[in-house]
Amino acid sequence: MMPRWVRRLRASRRWRRLSRRLDPLRAIALSLLLTAGLVAGRLDTAPEPIPLAPIRVASPLRLAGAWVHAATPITLRPRTPALPAPKKAAWRLGMGSAPVGEPVEVSLTAYCLKGRTRRDNWVRHGIVAADPKLFPLARYLEIYVGKRYLGRFLIDDTGGAIRGNKIDIWTPECREAVLFGRRRGTAILVPRGADAAPTPDVTKLMAMVRGR
């Protein structure tokens, strides 16, 4: 039970007036507390932005009578390497394997035999027979006749008559091999890991020599 003096105080006029003055203040304070709580809750639970993929939008406009031309195709042609100038200290036969990247004067012939090479592969375009003491097997040679570039050839074969600076180019046409005969040329040993080069088509070996 409430004490008697408390009941008298609540029944008095002063208490009623004080209560009437405090009620608006209580309402304002309560509303401020509620607002602060709602704002704090929204800040804590704000969702993270979701990244979206870009969207490509096509224009709905169409021009009557307009033609769209495709770009002109570009044909990439392999660059023909120029024959490097010989150095003063020229490499000579009998000094071991040919130096990498330096021109070596060679005697060029052609052959059309069928079968397998020294490395047990079938004969094919882009291979030559060479002396492994001078030009190691499984390496590549850049071959020139004069200043005419024939291409990059794989050393895949040897021969009983291929000694020293002699190189025999394989061709599927025996007539081309006979017409080619024996020619003076230049060979350059390609370094390992060099960029790939297209396989030369030696079907028309004489046309390659004449630049046709």
Its domain, for residue 200, covers 103-210
Angle at 143 between CA 138 and CA 144, to 5 degrees: 175
**Residue pLDDT, tens place only, 115-162:** 999 999 999 999 999 999 999 999 999 999 988 999 999 999 999 999
For 163-183, what is the mean pLDDT?
95
- Please give the residue that has the higher pLDDT: either 6 or 35: 35
SS3 105: strand
pLDDT on residue 132: 94
Packing angle, helices 4-11 and 13-44, rounded to 10: 90
40-72 pLDDT, tens digit per residue, is 665 555 567 777 777 766 666 666 665 555 555
> Has residue 201 been placed in a domain?
yes
Q: Is residue 16 domain-resident?
A: no
Domain of 180, CATH number, reads 2.40.40.10
* Whether residue 31 has pLDDT greater than 80: no
Number of domains composing the chain: 1
Q: What local confidence, expressed as pLDDT, does residue 147 receive?
A: 87
Q: Is residue 199 part of a domain?
A: yes
- Would 174 be classed as within a structural domain? yes
Asked whether residue 163 is domain-assigned, the answer is yes
pLDDT of residue 74: 47
Q: Which of 114, 212, 209 minimizes the C-alpha distance to 171?
A: 114
> Across all residues in the chain, what is the average pLDDT?
79
Does 38 fall in a domain?
Answer: no
Please check whether residue 63 lies inside any domain of the structure. no
Residue 55 lies in a domain: no
